[in-house]
Amino acid sequence: MRYTPLSAATYREHRARFRQHMDKGGLAVFHSNDVMPTSADGTMPFKQASDIFHLSGIDQEETVLLLFPDATDPKDREILFVRETSELIAIWEGAKFTQKEASALSGIATVLWTSAYEATIKRLVPQCELLYLNSNEHLRQSNEVETREERKNKELRAQYPLHGVKRSAPIMHRIRSRKTQEEVEQIQRAIAITGKAFERVCGFVEPGVKEYAIEAEIIHEFIRHGSRGHAYTPIIASGYNACVLHYVTNDQVCQDGDVVLMDFGCEYGGYASDLTRSIPVNGRFTKRQRAVYNAVLRVKNAATQLLRPGTLLAEYHREVGRIMESELIGLGLLDKHDVAKQDPERPLYKKYFMHGTSHFLGLDVHDVGLWNEMIQPDMVFTVEPGIYIREEKLGIRLENNILVTRDAPIDLFADIPVEAEAVEALMARSRKKALA
């Protein structure tokens, strides 16, 4: 295995948290993702469904998990199904989990082959009072492709139309939003690798390099340290490109005098990191670039301190908007008299800072969570304010990942330079090291 997995004890804790929210007699079913086709006989790299991974740690296709706390037979209270291997599969694809290995990793005693799933469902569903079915209820999801889970849900509902159904997603959003200590440590491993990649590119960036060459340096550092790659499609945006929020073409030349915005993060053991840094292509910020940079940095630092238990995310984002408003006035981008007369529903700062400041982070880079409830300890958020001045071809965004605690928030990227002077110094050191 390329990465160090979490312990079986952590996966047992995750399942216990889910069971606490189940009604009596409920049977919960979770499926893995499909292996997705490309064309001809090609397939995309397999990416496990986050919910079944959170509950079992099994990173393999054709996996199914059943949770039935009130089953009469204790062996039926947790059942894991994994794909049965064969000599042919071992030759062409490599080893798959044995039942013993899957049990040791997940902490689930009853492990069967996936081929036994249908017969097991026919035996257990008549014993349960209702079914808990899972679905993708992320606020931003817009998937047009039917998932394996959706297919199997349809089959169950057609086969057992008289059984009541409850949604697993609200429970998963609740339990996944608060991280265990081992989950935080896994995120920190991803962050450490991402920090190494940032240091590497600081010694590589110079006038004339292509954005995709910077991307190549990043993925090199990810892979050599045990990551499977990017947690999301990286943004390497120089000059005006930095004002395009989801710029991923990464095919332009970095020009002398420009700033390059780099939004990237590695995935390690299924967990994401999410970093943004904006660095001068030639190694030195201009006076104007530094002024905008420091304004964004002040907003980031202030926003970080607002991530406290008991705060509503909607109130948090409004307060960050007010802080940004003040900085934009100081930069001469907004007029304080116009701001005083603005429509509160259409604040003027949105012209230069048009996205949100924070989102949940975990197994997914835009992780699930309860947006309408108070922030709680053990949640992990990004903090990523930005200022985008299209007429100046300048976009600055800075982003760190923050752990909420009962006391002060903890910056998980604290060891990675972010102050303008520290970034310039790192670029100078790294370039000297690269030339040595």
CATH number at residue 276: 3.90.230.10
The answer to whether 299 and 328 have CB atoms below 8 angstroms apart is no
Q: Based on the domain organization, do 168 and 225 belong to the same domain?
A: no
Candidates 199, 263, 327, 367; catalytic one: 263
Token pair listed for 244:
């395009």
Candidates 151, 224, 355, 390; catalytic one: 355
Whether 52 is in a domain gets the answer: yes
Candidates 140, 246, 337, 346; catalytic one: 246
Predicted model pTM: 0.96
Token pair listed for 409:
């928030």
Q: Based on the domain organization, do 275 and 215 belong to the same domain?
A: yes
Q: Is the dihedral of CA 429, 284, 282, 235 positive or negative?
A: positive
Q: Based on the domain organization, do 218 and 130 belong to the same domain?
A: no
State the Cα torsion 93-94-100-101 to the nearest 10°. Answer: -110
Q: Based on the domain organization, do 194 and 225 belong to the same domain?
A: yes
Determine whether 367 is an active site residue. Answer: no
Determine whether 407 is an active site residue. Answer: no
Determine whether 11 is an active site residue. Answer: no
Nearest to 130 by CA among 175, 169, 161: 161
Whether 2 is in a domain gets the answer: no
Q: Based on the domain organization, do 77 and 210 belong to the same domain?
A: no
Per-residue pLDDT at 91: 84
Nearest to 114 by CA among 52, 200, 178: 52
Per-residue pLDDT at 96: 92
Determine whether 399 is an active site residue. Answer: yes
d(C-alpha 48, C-alpha 34), whole Å = 8
Ranges under pLDDT 70 in the chain: 436
d(C-alpha 210, C-alpha 224), whole Å = 22
Determine whether 397 is an active site residue. Answer: yes
d(C-alpha 215, C-alpha 194), whole Å = 12
The phi and psi torsions of 377 (rounded to 5 degrees) equal -60, 150
The answer to whether 178 and 142 have CB atoms below 8 angstroms apart is no
d(C-alpha 84, C-alpha 199), whole Å = 43
Beta bridge partners of 264: 275
Whether 297 is in a domain gets the answer: yes
Q: Where does a domain end: 177, 212, 239?
A: 177
Radius of gyration over alpha carbons of the chain, in Å? 24
Per-residue pLDDT at 386: 98
Nearest to 65 by CA among 31, 15, 18, 41: 31
Count: domains in the chain: 2
Q: Based on the domain organization, do 161 and 223 belong to the same domain?
A: no
d(C-alpha 79, C-alpha 106), whole Å = 11
Whether 425 is in a domain gets the answer: yes
Q: Based on the domain organization, do 131 and 277 belong to the same domain?
A: no
Determine whether 54 is an active site residue. Answer: no
Candidates 41, 87, 343, 391; catalytic one: 41
d(C-alpha 259, C-alpha 284), whole Å = 9
DSSP string, 303-363: HHHH--TT-BHHHHHHHHHHHHHHHHHHTTSS-HHHHHTS-TTS-GGGGT--S-S--B-SS
Q: Based on the domain organization, do 254 and 269 belong to the same domain?
A: yes
Q: Based on the domain organization, do 222 and 247 belong to the same domain?
A: yes
Candidates 173, 199, 397, 424; catalytic one: 397
Give the CATH number, domain containing residue 74: 3.40.350.10
Residue 192: burial class (beta carbons within 10 Å; 0-12, 13-18, 19+):
middle
Candidates 327, 359, 364, 424; catalytic one: 359
In sequence order, what are the residues at sequence separation of 6 or more whose Cβ sits closer than 8 angstroms to the Cβ of residue 22? 28, 67, 69, 132, 171
3 state SS for 102-153? HHHHHCCCEEEEHHHHHHHHHHHHHHCCEEEECCCCCCCCCCCCCCHHHHHH
User: For residue 426, what are the domain limits?
Assistant: 181-435
Q: Based on the domain organization, do 95 and 153 belong to the same domain?
A: yes
Token pair listed for 275:
């970093």
Whether 273 is in a domain gets the answer: yes
Phi/psi zone of residue 320: left (φ > 0), alpha (ψ -120 to 50 degrees), beta? alpha
Determine whether 182 is an active site residue. Answer: no
Per-residue pLDDT at 59: 96
Residue 340: burial class (beta carbons within 10 Å; 0-12, 13-18, 19+):
exposed
Determine whether 366 is an active site residue. Answer: yes
Candidates 34, 258, 327, 384; catalytic one: 384
Q: Based on the domain organization, do 207 and 173 belong to the same domain?
A: no
Q: Based on the domain organization, do 173 and 193 belong to the same domain?
A: no
The phi and psi torsions of 276 (rounded to 5 degrees) equal -130, 130
Candidates 240, 268, 352, 388; catalytic one: 388
End-to-end CA distance of the chain: 35
Q: Where does a domain end: 149, 177, 205?
A: 177
Q: Where does a domain end: 134, 160, 177?
A: 177
Residue 258: burial class (beta carbons within 10 Å; 0-12, 13-18, 19+):
buried
Per-residue pLDDT at 436: 67
Whether 252 is in a domain gets the answer: yes
Q: Is the dihedral of CA 113, 115, 118, 119 positive or negative?
A: negative
Whether 3 is in a domain gets the answer: no
Determine whether 31 is an active site residue. Answer: no
Candidates 308, 366, 378, 411; catalytic one: 366
